[in-house]
Every structure is written in C-alpha cells, then in structure tokens.
Amino acid sequence: MTKYSSSSSYSTYEAIIASLMILGIGIVIASSLEMIWTKVFSVFISIGIIVLIILYQRKKTFDIKFSENGIIIEYPFLNKTDQVPYTDLVQIQFISAYRAPNRNKIKFKIDGKIESLRFLTVAQSDQYIEFIKWLKSKNDKLELKVFPSDHIMNHKIQEVYGFKYRKILKKIL
C-alpha cells in the first residue's frame, strides 16, 4: 500500500520549453542564412538536439512511491521498476528555490553505488514533517537536509528533532 508518492514530471515541461526554444533558434538561424544547404543543416542540427533532449528526458522521468515495505521507483518510458529498501536510504533533502516548486532530493544505495533522485516534494508544511517522522521510523540513520538553511522547514524540523538533527562542521580559528 502506497503511503506517499510523487514524480519528476515537472522536468518534462522544462524539456518541452527547451525543445521549443532550440527549434525556434534553429528556424531563426535558418531564415537568416542564404544558401539552402546551410538552412537545412541548421534545422537538422536543431532537430538532432531535440531528439537528444527527448532521449535524456525518457531516462529522467519517474514516479516514486513510498510504501510500507520500501521505495518503488517506476520509469514509465523505460518500463523499468526499481525497489529500494528503507535501510538503503541515506539522505533526504528539502529544496526550496525562488519561483519554483519545492522539491525533494533523496540519496540511496543501489548495487553498491550511491544514486540520487530529484522530484516534486511529497508533502507541504506540517504534512512534510509527518512524512519525515514516518521515514525516520523506517530508518533512524536517515540524514535530513534543508536548502536554503534559513527556510521555515529547517525550523520546523528543529522543533521536532532539536538543533542537532544535522551535522554542523565547526571551524576553530
């Protein structure tokens, strides 16, 4: 049974906008050239770049589900599914950027390597705190991070776990 879920579908819109911009640049360059073969060449280069963006985007689009038994990562365009047990989860980071949706980034071990994924945040505000508590109940060694560090989410996590929930490096002068 799925408890929490999210996806990386926001990046699909970014890829579509990038593709349209590259196609527009290719058309503008083609219209400014005089020889027909250079026009065709510039349009083919633009289309080639768009194909590369589509192939890259297929690998980066996924749905992530946090179930009772582990994390299920489904890649719909690749017909691939990965399962990660909570014990292999290393870090979860809350990322808040100006004029962009909040995102989560997780780091986990798979096949002896550390992988990371970015996706839209699983929950907002107090619901995110409940999500963090639920994850910590599954893996108490989970490292929590908030970016930027002065975000309100950092203070909410500190209310629950205290000021030492994250590692702070001290430099002695």
The CATH number of the domain holding residue 116 is 2.30.29
Domain holding 121, by residue range, is 85-161
Helices 152-161, 125-138: crossing angle, 10 deg rounding: 40
- What lies within 8 Å, CB to CB, of 73 at 6+ separation is 62, 63, 64, 65, 81, 82, 83, 84, 117
Question: For residue 116, what is the enclosing H or E element?
Answer: strand 113-120
Judgement on whether residues 49 and 90 belong to the same structural domain of the protein: no
Judgement on whether residues 30 and 75 belong to the same structural domain of the protein: yes
Judgement on whether residues 73 and 110 belong to the same structural domain of the protein: no
> Which residue, of 53, 84, 115, is where some domain finishes?
84
What pTM, to 2 d.p., does this model score? 0.73
pLDDT attached to residue 152: 77
Judgement on whether residues 31 and 95 belong to the same structural domain of the protein: no
Kindly state whether residue 173 falls inside one of the protein's structural domains.
Answer: no
Kindly state whether residue 170 falls inside one of the protein's structural domains.
Answer: no
d(CA 122, CA 104): 7
Residue 26: strand, helix, or coil: helix
> Which residue, of 18, 53, 84, is where some domain finishes?
84
pLDDT attached to residue 166: 55
Segments in the chain below pLDDT 70? 1-3, 163-173
* pLDDT tens sequence across 39-51: 888 888 888 998 9
